[in-house]
Amino acid sequence: MKTYSSCAYRFPVVVLARRIRKSFRSYTALILLATVPASAASPFPGILPGLPIGLLLPLGYEPSGAIWHSRLNKLFLVGDGGTATTMDADGSNVQNWNVPGDLEGICIADPATDFVFIANEVPARVIEFNFVSGQVTRQFDLSPWMPAPTNSGMEGLAFVPSATDVEGGIFYGGHQDNGRIYKFRLPIRSSQTSTAVSFLGFVTPVAGRVDISDLCFDRDNNVLYILYDSSNLIRAVRIDMSLIDEWFVPGIEQEGIAVLPPCDVVIADDVGVLTRYTGFPAGDYDGDGIGNCYDLCPNSPAGQSVNASGWPP
């Protein structure tokens, strides 16, 4: 059901109905959620209430994935009605493209190129989109490996770079129904035409926890953020899935997350709300005593002394 009002926030009854529908998609999912221990998550570290930046989005837009483009200093997002969008960090200078599909996530493999990669939920596939030409250039079929139940398949997409990988890194696809993250290598460097897919397996970040709604990889800190809709949580993990921290996240239908350096995060809410918060992420990822928001060298070697900006001598 996609009923909208003319204002930025939607009718509470509609929101509640969608919330119930998404949280209890199947009997199996309900049993899994019931077996997960209560979360010991920390309070959301961002400064509330945040800044609404989606006011210039088209009426009826349902933002479902977001990513920050470091070269262009632009926020890219997708709406699950088939629209890709870019805007400035304050929500201005909005540009939209029609990209047919059930779009649920977006990531950037190489900021030096003119491509973004978009997750299509059903059937599961990755869409290569050239935002300069406005054209879909390739589509990679993931359906042989990723199950695609109606409205609860692939919801998040992230690219984890690796200097030793022939394609520059690995794609991570977050699955809503089973809570797994699937890993794929796609020929984005070795070919401009191939649509071959190499499946590399999957991981389950939290046993029994489902409803992954987006993924975001922070290249500056080598941190993967996992957004959980029904649990209202952001989980920060290392590449090996070991936990760094976990926070409660504001919102109702949290469908997208984008980290903006040095200290902002954008949360895309499926009911049509896009909000930017300052003061995120919290903590000290490299353990040098300088908080993330003030650390200009966020990957200092363990035990290395640093100055007030996080730089080693």
Alpha-carbon 129 to chain mean position: 17
Alpha-carbon 295 to chain mean position: 23
Domain assignment present for 309: no
DSSP 293: G
> Rounded to whole angstroms, how far apart are CA atoms 78 and 255?
10
Closest CA to 152 of 168, 176, 117: 176
> Rounded to whole angstroms, how far apart are CA atoms 34 and 48?
30
Cβ atoms of 165 and 188 closer than 8 Å: no
Alpha helices in the chain (DSSP H): 12-23, 27-35
Domain assignment present for 299: no
pLDDT of residue 255: 96
pTM of the complete model: 0.85
| Residue 238, token pair as written in the block | 């290392």
> Rounded to whole angstroms, how far apart are CA atoms 145 and 142?
6
pLDDT of residue 262: 81
Domain assignment present for 306: no
User: In order along the chain (313 residues), what is the average pLDDT of each group of 10 residues?
Assistant: 32 38 39 48 94 96 97 96 97 98 97 98 96 98 91 94 97 97 98 98 97 95 94 96 94 94 92 94 79 79 83 84
DSSP of 189-252? TT-SS----EEEEEE-SSTT---EEEEEEETTTTEEEEEETTTTEEEEE-TT--EEEEEE--SS
Domain assignment present for 119: yes
pLDDT of residue 39: 60
212 strand-pairing partners? 228
Domain assignment present for 293: no
Domain assignment present for 5: no
> Rounded to whole angstroms, how far apart are CA atoms 130 and 115?
5
Q: What is the total count of domains within the chain? A: 1
CA max distance for the chain? 58
Quick count: other Cβ atoms within 10 Å of Cβ 102? 19
Domain assignment present for 91: yes
Range of the domain at 160: 12-282
Closest CA to 282 of 76, 68, 39, 47: 47
Burial of 145 (0-12, 13-18, 19+ CB in 10 A): middle
Closest CA to 159 of 113, 92, 207: 113
pLDDT of residue 18: 40
Domain assignment present for 7: no
CATH of the domain at 172: 2.120.10.30
